[in-house]
Amino acid sequence: MNPKLYASIAVIITGLVLLYGISDFPTFGDPRSPANSGVEGGAPSTSLYYINESYGATKVPNLVTSVLADYRGYDTMFETVVVFAAGMAIFAILRCFGRDDEAVITAPTKSSIDGDHNRIIVGTTCRLAVPVVQIFALYVVAHGHHSPGGGFQGGVMLGASFILIALAGNLNDALGRFSERSYMTLASLGIIIYAGFGVLPQVLGKNFLDFGVLEKFFLTDGPEMARSHSMLGVEIGVALTVMSIMFAIFANLSSRGTLKGGL
């Protein structure tokens, strides 16, 4: 019989079970729900601790940043490693060297960003937009403590600015500005920066990623500001890795691993 019919039956049964399960869930926007304030008669939710205590402990008004980079430092570090590993996997799967005849799309001779008059509107718009995108991305990384933002978001925007160059022109334009050697180096450097901020407190006799002890390096008054500054360093490491790997994924996928021509 039709396999789609079996799939529909299985999906409908699963959906009904899930819909039965959600009938006990708290209503949308309920501040007294277990996730927001803890179970009745039990311990209060962790989120209340973060909302009330994390500003005093880290001096970072953006709770998401302080939870992400300090309280859940291990988690974020290994998420960054997962992104790095995904980039390395794509490199290992797709990248092929020295077989130019397999390149399906040949590289155009003219660069549409640097003065190809057939695509002058696209090229000019892209040339004007990319610096704005990059400056805003740097703002998102650097101001992630005080406003919504941080390393992951800023890193994706930085990567997107290079992808915009590759889309508006061709891949060689983008690779001329951000070569394979650069993005591989920067991706590794991001991980090294993050792990370095973890190892440095260990050298000083504290736990891995225990930023408070770094106050001697940052010349600040107290461990709270040291944590705040270390979080900025950690976010910069995350942004470098995410930016490089996003562009590496695009470059390898769009050119079938040859890094020539592309879209």
Partner 1 sequence: MVEFLLNTVKPHFNFWVYVILMMIGLWSLIAKNNLIKKMMGLAIFQSAIILFYVSLGVKDGATIPVLDYHGEHADHNAAAKDEPAMTLPTSSAGNPADAYANPVPHVLMLTAIVVGVATLGVALALCEMIFKEFDTLEEDELLRKIKALHDDA
Restricting to residues 148-167, which ones interact with partner 1 according to CB under 8 A? 148, 150, 152-153, 155-156
Q: Return the residue of 1, 27, 203, 219 that touches partner 1, per CB under 8 A.
A: 27
Tokens of 181: 């050697």
State whether residue 181 is helix, strand or coil.
helix
Tokens of 5: 């019919």
- Cβ-contact 70, 55 below 8 angstroms: no
What is the C-alpha separation between 196 and 193, in angstroms, rounded? Answer: 5
The 1-20 site mask, x for binding partner 1 (CB under 8 A), equals: --xx-xxx-xxx-xx--xx-
**Part of the chain binding partner 1 (CB under 8 A), chosen from 130-138, 181-189, 205-213, 242-250:** 242-250
Restricting to residues 201-220, which ones interact with partner 1 according to CB under 8 A? none
Q: Check residue 71 and report its DSSP letter.
A: I
Q: Return the residue of 100, 114, 132, 147 that touches partner 1, per CB under 8 A.
A: 147
Whichever of 113 and 249 has its CB closer to partner 1, that residue is 249
- Cβ-contact 111, 171 below 8 angstroms: no
How many residues does this entry show for the chain? 263
Restricting to residues 41-100, which ones interact with partner 1 according to CB under 8 A? 44-53, 55-56, 61-64, 67-68, 72, 75-76, 79, 82-83, 86-87, 89-90, 93-94
Q: How far is the CB of 89 from partner 1 (least distance, A)?
A: 5
Whichever of 165 and 246 has its CB closer to partner 1, that residue is 246
Q: Return the residue of 1, 29, 205, 219 that touches partner 1, per CB under 8 A.
A: 29
Whichever of 122 and 133 has its CB closer to partner 1, that residue is 133
Amino acid at 149: G
Q: Return the residue of 162, 176, 186, 242 that touches partner 1, per CB under 8 A.
A: 242
Q: How far is the CB of 137 from partner 1 (least distance, A)?
A: 14
Q: Check residue 250 and report its DSSP letter.
A: H
- Cβ-contact 168, 118 below 8 angstroms: no
In a 10 Å sphere around its CB, with 0-12 CB exposed, 13-18 middle and 19+ buried, how is residue 36 labelled?
middle
Q: Is 45 left (phi over 0), alpha (psi -120 to 50) or beta?
A: beta
Verify binding: residue 122, partner 1, rule CB under 8 A: no
Whichever of 30 and 114 has its CB closer to partner 1, that residue is 30
Report CA-CA distances (Å) from 67 to 99, 110, 228: 47, 48, 11
Whichever of 75 and 114 has its CB closer to partner 1, that residue is 75
State whether residue 29 is helix, strand or coil.
coil
Q: How far is the CB of 171 from partner 1 (least distance, A)?
A: 15
